[in-house]
Amino acid sequence: MTNLTSLQAFFVIFSSICGHICVGSIYILNSYISYFVSYIRFRGSKTNMTHFDGKILMFLIIATYGLSGYPAGKLTSSVPISTSLLAGTGLFMISYMFIFVGGHYVYGILVAAVIGLGIASMMIGISILFGCLRHFNESRGIISGVLFASANISPAILNYWELSFINPKNVSPVQLKGYFETQEEYYDATDVLDRSADFFWILYGAVFIMLMLPVIAFRLYPPPAFEDDDDINFQDSECFTTVCSLCFDVKFVLVIISFGFAGCAGLAARSTLKTYGETFINDENYLSRVGGSGALSSAVGALALGIVLDLHQRGASVLVLLQTVLTFVGTVMMMYASNWGKVWYLLSYDISLFALGGSSAVLALVLLQTFGLTKFPVLYGISFLIQFFSALWYTLSLWNTFPWRDFWLANTLFGFMSVIGAIGFIIKNDIEGKLVDDQEEVFHRYKVNPNKYSRFQ
């Protein structure tokens, strides 16, 4: 149990929530991207910037976020939480500032800043989660659910802020003269562009204040030392001495298959919020509301499944299957969204995002229960390769020459593969559970009558 007082515990949790809201703010580009691209095109460093360029920037953020998981996990497990948080916060604020500076003056600086933002977000996210799991070891499901709910609700807060601040009159983008062949539309209204810049800098100040709170909290109240049960000892300890060997454990592989394919499908749904929705919904404000609704669903999914995991710690396998089935259902519904209209699109998006949010909390607790707290940061960081592969899949799909041109059909296949991985994980858990029960029964009989069960009798 944590050694914090009630007030101290509240401050640590509150500051951690603020930090995870900032981590989730990187996904504001999903809805802000149209304004951001338009601003750079008309007032920035790349006058021929297109929406395709904006999608590449989104890919760079998500890809570097996923690829930096392993080094961020190693750093977090090697230095004090406050140190890794301070490093992540510094990089986050520098990168955020240079996104605007690079977009305004030198486009190459913008690209480098986007990469730095992805790395910084991963460092902050893992540091806060790892620190809270060590502080609150009796409520890890609820704590992880709250943190992931905060990260997932962040785009909803920012979406409604963007909706009411940048484009309150629901001004539609226009097709530019001389660019009819691209069929792309951009915001050229002066007031919309002005408010886009204002929104960026106001958000910068808010993020800076919120990120400093967890830095202060974990500096004042560092996590307690590891306990004896924080490190899980395997039967064949020689086979699990390195991270590489742990990654080849059957259960870890099945977890990655399950959450990996589900993550590809769910993150693709979030990444295509406007690019897919705009093909059959001509209402920017409605799409922003869909984004906010999906973010809320994702937060509810993370919080609900985190609470369930605390109440029924042996039910992790069932929840793994549940989130994969919901992912599969959401991708199937997305296939027909363009035919069934706005409400159908809202439902399919919310289901997909509920599953995606829930999988965040479930994945963290499954890795924690299976491999222990000391191995958690590195393995959890490795699992974020899911983010990279989903971003890579989404980016490759932007080219019409890609073999699987039916994007949502391929996503449905990913959802189906995640269900297969979850079933395999359940079977593996049941087999190991029976083996443990048999070993405990033999041990009990040996204690009762050692002479009967001794191999040396």
Rounded Cα–Cα distance for residues 432 and 438 (Å):
10
In a domain, 150, yes or no: yes
C-alpha neighbours within 13 Å on the C-beta side of residue 237 = 3
Rounded Cα–Cα distance for residues 124 and 38 (Å):
30
- Res 366: pLDDT: 82
In a domain, 199, yes or no: yes
Alpha carbon 349 to its chain centroid, in Å, reads: 16
Rounded Cα–Cα distance for residues 301 and 280 (Å):
28
Residue with tokens 């409400």: 343
Beta carbons of 358 and 324 less than 8 angstroms apart:
no
In a domain, 1, yes or no: no
- Res 416: pLDDT: 85
Rounded Cα–Cα distance for residues 308 and 368 (Å):
16
Beta carbons of 154 and 21 less than 8 angstroms apart:
yes
Mean pLDDT, consecutive 10-residue stretches, the chain (457 aa), reads 80 92 75 81 86 82 87 88 93 90 88 91 92 85 85 72 75 66 73 84 88 94 71 44 65 78 74 68 73 79 83 72 84 81 83 83 81 82 79 68 60 82 79 48 42 38
Beta carbons of 63 and 122 less than 8 angstroms apart:
no
Beta carbons of 285 and 455 less than 8 angstroms apart:
no
Q: Is 43 exposed, middle or buried (0-12, 13-18, 19+ CB in 10 A)?
A: middle
What tokens appear for 443 in the block?
Answer: 């041990």
In a domain, 324, yes or no: yes
Domain count for the chain, please give it: 1
- Res 450: pLDDT: 46
Beta carbons of 223 and 84 less than 8 angstroms apart:
no
In a domain, 348, yes or no: yes
In a domain, 64, yes or no: yes
- Res 441: pLDDT: 43
| pLDDT-above-90 percentage for the chain | 13
Alpha carbon 270 to its chain centroid, in Å, reads: 11
Residues of the domain holding 371: 6-453
Domain of 369: which CATH number? Answer: 1.20.1250.20
Average pLDDT of the chain, as a whole number: 77
- Res 227: pLDDT: 63
In a domain, 266, yes or no: yes
pLDDT digits (tens, 9 = 90+) for 148-179: 888 877 766 776 676 678 877 777 777 766 54
Q: At what angle do helices 190-220 and 6-24 cross, to 10 degrees?
A: 140
Rounded Cα–Cα distance for residues 366 and 371 (Å):
8
DSSP 321-381: HHHHHHHHHHHHHHHTHHHH-HHHHHHHHHHHHHHHHHHHHHHHHHHHHHHBTTTHHHHHH
- Res 400: pLDDT: 55
Taking the CA atoms of 278, 283, 285 and 286 in sequence, report the sign of the dihedral they define. Answer: negative
